[in-house]
Amino acid sequence: MARDFEHDSGYDPLEFARSLAGKLLFTPGPTEVAEEVRRAMALPVANSDLDPEFARLYRETCRQLGELMHTRNDVLILAGEGLLGLEAAVASLVEPGDRVLCLANGLYGRGFADFARDWGAEVTLFEADDREPLDAARLERFLSEREAAGSGGEIPLFRLATLVHCETPTGLLNPVDRLLPVLKRHGILTVVDSVSAIAAVPLEADAWGADVVLGGSQKALSAPPGLAFLSVSPAAWERMRRRRHPIPGVYLNLWRWHEEWLGQGIFPYTPSTSDIYALHEAVQRALAEPEAERFGRHERIARAVRAAIRAAGFELYPREEASSPSVTAWLVPEVLRPREAELRERLWRQHGVMMAGSWGPTAGLVWRAGHMGENARPDKGERFVRALAELLQEAGWAMPGDPVAAYRAALG
């Protein structure tokens, strides 16, 4: 059908984006982006291949990301969403027939298993209920028993393990500080998705034994979506070097980064220069705040938002101690479920505040608030809680307490 451009002349497709200023994205990614970070994106575009200053910026931003993750391993920034990092790690490390252990108590943990199968792995799942964190002692027993049963067999039993730090769709935090050392003791290479935890939650990549750590720009770093970053240990590079078959393809191929960027200072493809300006600014902001303060701020806001959620009469999805300081997920009561999408829409249209539903098995059953990065500020938390309380009142939901008062009391 021919488009009638005449008819559309009054329509400005960017108008909605202009009107976002003053509204609040209280979602677990994208999060609010600070004005300084947005301004960095408007700087003139560099020629990333010919301008050595751009290469310096890239290198420096990688170094600072390593500082955030507490790793001395190589760090790369890839032009693509967080998911690109997950798939690139699996595509580069997994060969057909490899035995891969996927720790899974949520959507991303199981997604890793799908990726690994796509790349030819023989996957074993180590699972827990989606409302419970994975248990390190149980993992230790699982691996020891498997090894004993396979006596005479190949050690290590698994060539690779994947795990998720914060399961964003359910707000659950896994104890990667205890899980990683168990996997390392059993000689297993590890890939950790810390996309929604980095910068909000402690992460000691080297001390805990993470071979590959994955992050994204749009979560707790509060930069715009568009970049994945990852750290790669010498053991992980060695695994790629010694593959029986070369990594197929180009874009997911981390070995090319090893040979071209790390080896010769040449980017395998044109980096997203403007996104990297913004990421650099965002990382600077994160590092400018001492860790204890940054993590403390996330814990405080999380505690206060959860106090408000309980005062509103809701049940947290994972219990409080299992919840991540970066995101809160709670059950939508049965009577509100038929209207859950409509209520979120109303919160956005009438109160200018966006909260998230969920994905996969908890779609329609869970609501989520993303209080990471720039969102983890007392005023933003209060704005969200106030808007939610007003919405619930309008919806005729009887609240047992006063969410705003509970929020303030918990903030202290």
Ligand X SMILES: *Cc1c(COP(=O)(O)O)cnc(C)c1O
* Residue ranges that bind ligand X, judged by CB under 6 A: 29, 81-83, 86, 108, 164, 166, 168, 193, 195-196, 216, 219
Least distance to ligand X from the beta carbon of 275, Å? 13
Min dist CB 90 to ligand X, Å, is 12
| Minimum CB distance to ligand X smaller for 73 or for 218 | 218
Which residue's beta carbon is nearest to the bound ligand X?
A: 82
The residue (of 202 and 313) whose beta carbon lies closer to ligand X is: 202
Q: How far is the CB of 391 from ligand X (least distance, A)?
A: 25
Shortest Å distance, C-beta 82 to ligand X: 3
How far apart are CB 232 and ligand X at their closest, in Å? 17
CB nearer ligand X, residue 210 or residue 391? 210
Q: Crossing angle of helices 378-394/291-311, nearest 10°?
A: 10
Nearer to ligand X, 195 or 301 (CB): 195
Q: How far is the CB of 166 from ligand X (least distance, A)?
A: 6
Q: Is the dihedral of CA 220, 282, 299, 401 positive or negative?
A: negative
| Closest to ligand X by CB, 115 or 237 | 115
- Give the nearer residue to ligand X in terms of CB position, either 123 or 312: 123
